[in-house]
């Protein structure tokens, strides 16, 4: 026998035991997005590598070291598994001319791929839910995004998440700051690590995002972009802050928050927690007014954010928040020539009434079937033998509480199970 093959490192199976919490999360998320009038967009997992290079930037962790990029063996095209969702969303919006006469509020969800070192909260295939609002220039949309995420934490029952906020300013402000930052880092070449040296002229703001502890002191003492902001940038940031206050949202301004991706301007934010160790950012985003133009569309302002589903699920676990019960109402145990067709009929009636019923398959004694009923997690075992079939009734045995076995008709059974639900 050959050795069994394993899943790829950093790419996880979501086993049946865990899927109820994914499904619960997804259903809360769908209702929440509908409540804000957002529409789902689904794009392919694979795109041209050039899209991510153009959108995310050549000199970024994602494009330099994390992207699953490959050549299509059949036609030589340069392709990549999507490392994030914004680029493809914007690509689709441009391709299908969705901004022709209306702005768009969109969302997406699904797996993303980054070749990172796997650890708790950091995987090579992970899942994001993302939101993009395209065609909106004002601070009100930045705040809608923050307010709606705060509402999602409430809907999920999460409390240990706090908001960090910063502004990257207009492109003019950033350009001025960039010059000042390069001068600051250039003055201390011995303190720069390899990444920083490489990024010094191509993407100096990204040095502020470095996770290298040896760089932290240098980064802490660096000049601040907040001191280089022009009037428009200040007005936008003030607009964001006053609307946040009006909505009762607490935040901390973090001048070191620059985000990993190149395309942001003005508002950037992260929702962070100290309950997950090093991987504490559960949601991140901001404004990216230049991206649509940068990848070939008619320029339009936009902003968005994405959350890491695995990290949020870990936080739900950490907080001890239980997933709603997904066990079937009934497991139907049956034996006998008359019993079996009656059992199928009862199962169908329950399902038509909106109740979940598992019909035993595979035969076996009542005793062995009862074991399966117990293991299924069902609330009741319905026992159907030829006697029950002849009388047209069902024996009902509660599996999760100490109560007497009872007899009832199919109609009574449905009423009883519905009342319990």
Kindly list the residues in this chain that would bind ligand ATP in the complex (CB under 6 A): 84, 114, 116, 121-123, 126, 128, 260, 279, 281-284, 306-308, 310-311
Residue 90 and residue 297 in contact, taking contact as beta carbons nearer than 8 Å: yes
DSSP 8-state assignment for residue 228: G
Instruction: Provide the 10 A C-beta neighbour count for residue 386.
Output: 15
- Residue nearest to ligand ATP according to CB distances in the complex: 308
Cβ proximity to ligand ATP, 108 vs 123, nearer residue: 123
How many distinct helices (H) and strands (E) make up the chain? Answer: 15, 16
Cβ proximity to ligand ATP, 259 vs 393, nearer residue: 259
- Min CB(356)–ligand ATP separation in Å: 32
Name the helix (H) or strand (E) containing 383: strand 380-384
* 18 backbone φψ class: left, alpha, beta (φ>0; ψ -120 to 50): alpha
State whether residue 24 is helix, strand or coil: helix
- Min CB(307)–ligand ATP separation in Å: 6
Instruction: Provide the 10 A C-beta neighbour count for residue 163.
Output: 20
Task: Single out the residue of 371, 344, 370, 345 nearest to residue 359, CA to CA.
Answer: 344
Cα separation, 310 vs 328, in Å, equals 26
- Min CB(225)–ligand ATP separation in Å: 18
Cβ proximity to ligand ATP, 260 vs 385, nearer residue: 260
- Min CB(209)–ligand ATP separation in Å: 8
- Min CB(52)–ligand ATP separation in Å: 12
Strands (E), 96-185: 104-113, 125-134, 162-167
Residue 315 and residue 161 in contact, taking contact as beta carbons nearer than 8 Å: yes
Name the helix (H) or strand (E) containing 265: strand 265-272
Cβ proximity to ligand ATP, 317 vs 386, nearer residue: 317
- Min CB(123)–ligand ATP separation in Å: 4
Cβ proximity to ligand ATP, 139 vs 304, nearer residue: 304
Residues in the chain: 421
Name the phi and psi angles at 265, rounded to 5. Answer: -140, 175
Cβ proximity to ligand ATP, 32 vs 52, nearer residue: 52
- Min CB(255)–ligand ATP separation in Å: 17
DSSP 8-state assignment for residue 119: B
Cβ proximity to ligand ATP, 163 vs 284, nearer residue: 284
């Amino acid at each position: 026998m050959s050795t069994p093959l394993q899943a790829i490192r950093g790419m996880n199976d979501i086993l049946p035991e865990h899927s109820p919490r994914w499904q619960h999360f997804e259903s809360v998320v769908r209702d929440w997005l509908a409540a804000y009038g957002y529409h789902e967009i689904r794009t392919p997992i694979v795109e041209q590598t050039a899209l991510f290079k153009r959108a995310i930037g050549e000199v970024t962790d994602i494009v330099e070291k994390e992207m699953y990029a490959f050549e299509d063996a059949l036609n030589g095209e340069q392709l990549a598994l999507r490392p994030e969702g914004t680029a493809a969303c914007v690509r689709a919006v441009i391709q299908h001319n969705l901004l022709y006469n209306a702005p768009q509020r969109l969302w997406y969800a699904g797996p993303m791929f980054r070749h990172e070192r796997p650890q708790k909260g950091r995987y090579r295939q992970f899942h994001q839910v993302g939101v993009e609002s395209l065609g909106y220039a004002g601070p009100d949309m930045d705040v809608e995004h923050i307010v709606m995420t705060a509402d999602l934490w409430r809907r999920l029952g999460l409390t240990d998440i706090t908001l960090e906020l910063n502004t990257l300013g207009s492109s003019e402000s950033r350009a001025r700051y960039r010059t000042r930052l390069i001068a600051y880092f250039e003055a201390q070449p011995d303190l720069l690590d390899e990444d920083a040296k490489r990024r010094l002229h191509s993407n100096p703001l990204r040095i502020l995002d470095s996770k290298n502890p040896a760089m932290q002191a240098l980064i802490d003492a660096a000049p601040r972009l907040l001191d280089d902001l022009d009037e428009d940038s200040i007005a936008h940031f003030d607009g964001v802050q006053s609307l946040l206050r009006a909505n009762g949202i607490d935040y901390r301004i973090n001048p070191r928050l620059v985000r990993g991706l190149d395309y942001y301007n003005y508002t950037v934010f992260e929702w962070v927690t100290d309950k997950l160790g090093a991987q504490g950012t559960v949601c991140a985003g901001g404004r990216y007014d230049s991206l649509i133009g940068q990848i070939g569309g008619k320029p339009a302002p936009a902003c968005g954010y994405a959350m890491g589903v695995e990290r949020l699920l870990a936080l739900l676990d950490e907080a001890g928040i239980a997933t709603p019960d997904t066990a079937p109402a009934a497991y139907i145990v049956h034996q006998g020539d008359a019993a079996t067709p009656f059992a199928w009929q009862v199962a169908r009636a329950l399902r038509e009434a909106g109740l979940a019923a598992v019909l035993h398959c595979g035969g076996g004694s009542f005793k062995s079937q009862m074991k399966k009923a117990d293991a299924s997690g069902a609330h009741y075992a319905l026992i159907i033998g030829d006697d029950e079939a002849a009388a047209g009734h069902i024996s009902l045995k509660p599996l999760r509480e100490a109560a007497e076995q009872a007899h009832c008709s199919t109609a009574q059974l449905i009423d009883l199970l519905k009342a319990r639900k």
